[in-house]
A = this chain, B = another copy of it.
């Protein structure tokens, strides 16, 4: 089973969660070591700018997902 079978989601909220998943998967593909990623978590989870940067990535991915779903209109 693919981790990304489709960009289509039932609701905007599920689409937002998919945008978060896309953002994290790109990190995981660059640093596949789970422990290494876990070690870095305190660094960004407690740094305002790091969180803002992460939010920007989600925003960019959410735009793609939202457009794929025609913005969940009707």
Contact = CB atoms under 8 A, between A and B. Distances in A.
Interface of A: 2-8, 11-13, 16, 20, 22-27, 29-31, 36, 39-41, 43-64, 66-68, 71-73
A63 B60 contact: yes
Contacts of A47: 40
**Total copies of this chain within the assembly:** 6
B73 A68 contact: yes
A12 B50 CA distance: 28
B16 A22 contact: yes
A25 B17 CA distance: 11
Contact of A23 (B39, B40, B55, B67): B55
B51 A53 contact: no
